[in-house]
Amino acid sequence: MNLKSKSTHVSTSTQTVVLPRTEWEVIFSEVDGVKSIERVQPIPESWFDLRKIEGLPANVTLLALLTCPKCREVNALAKGVTKIDSLGKLIPNFVCGVSTCKFTAEVYLDKFHDKPLYALALENGERIELSYTHANNVKEASLAVSGKLLSGWRVIGIGPAIGYHVQPGSKGSVVIA
């Protein structure tokens, strides 16, 4: 089984945010058989998948809509501007498009590739890393870091990335909530 995972050092100053995929109320209008988005009722701190909406014009380059975790305004993710990697991570990092906000974070879209995103907190001496992987359950997620376990790392926490936070504590300890 080829599971992909990514590690993030907890000590970085960039905030990491995992947004759940939700169904928003989206009102479309249609003129001459071509759909366009007329109105959106977003769910705060989430994302909406536009890839499977049928009837959108072929030239529409939007992948998804998401709400900014800070100002809660809707931002659009467009092909060619934003890349979404195999773990649902936005590349480059998210920067809110609202001129008065400009919130910046490392953002992952949960279930972008249909499986839930899991977070694994790993420890090796005083070094702590947070790793992400797509999996159907905890056992499958733990397989993504099996190579690290053989090289002296140990799992100190694992769970769905939504609602899972790791913060550095004193002398390398962590608080997982």
pLDDT-derived band at 97 (thresholds 50, 70, 90) equals: very high
Give the pLDDT of residue 161. Answer: 84
Average model confidence (pLDDT) across the chain: 80
Report the predicted TM-score, pTM, of the whole model to 2 decimal places.
Answer: 0.72
Residues in CB range of 66: below 8 A, 6 or more apart:
19, 46, 47, 48, 74, 75, 77, 94, 107, 109
Higher pLDDT pick, 47 / 167: 47
**The tokens of 42 are what?**
């977003």
In the predicted structure, residue 2 carries a pLDDT above the cut 80:
no
Read off the DSSP letter of residue 82. -
Give the pLDDT of residue 93. Answer: 94
Mean pLDDT of 87-116: 92
Taking the domains of the chain in order of start, what are their residue ranges? 5-13+113-176, 18-109
In the predicted structure, residue 65 carries a pLDDT above the cut 60:
yes
pLDDT-derived band at 163 (thresholds 50, 70, 90) equals: low
